[in-house]
Amino acid sequence: MDAVSYPDSKVTDFILNNVIPLRVPFNAKPLATDFNVKWTPTLITVDWNGKEHHRTVGFLPPEELIPSILLGLAKTYYELDQFPAALQALEKVITEYPKSGPASEAVFLRGVCGYKSTHDPKHLKQAYEKLIAEYKDSEWAKRALPYRLIP
């Protein structure tokens, strides 16, 4: 990623403004062992306590790297029950990177966050409908299949 993704000015700006990057060689002990890093690049999103919330293994071009990092941030906020922040990051993935790999998972998770923050199942149904309409062959459309039964 050093030759393609990291030098991209959008990637650099995004990283500098949104995360605290830490570069660790894949064989650096104890971090590589603690986080079970087996291949490079491995990007891991952790919270302030060092708990992992998202992992990406392998090269990502700039147009996939930013939404992957955003999804990692959203999953961190989601798992910490910070639903407004999670929804904000998910919305950015969905609206700014709708064709990216993380977009379908972002749609699914937006539905879950919406439900968990309001207890209104309409968010789950809306996620299912968007997944079927725009990402019908995705893993996340399959996972949302039970939501079709919500009235």
Specify whether the CB–CB gap between 81 and 94 falls below 8 A.
no
Look at residue 100 in the predicted model and tell me its pLDDT: 97
pTM score of the predicted model: 0.91
Domain 9-149 fold is 1.25.40
Angle at 101 between CA 73 and CA 11, to 5 degrees: 55
Q: For residue range 34-79, what is the model confidence (pLDDT) as tens digits?
A: 999 998 899 999 999 999 999 999 999 999 999 999 999 999 999 9
The closest of 46, 134, 98 to 90, measured between CA atoms, is 98
- Helix ranges restricted to H, the chain: 9-18, 31-34, 62-79, 83-96, 103-118, 122-134, 139-143
**Average pLDDT, rounded, for the chain:** 94
**Mean pLDDT across the stretch 81-106?**
98
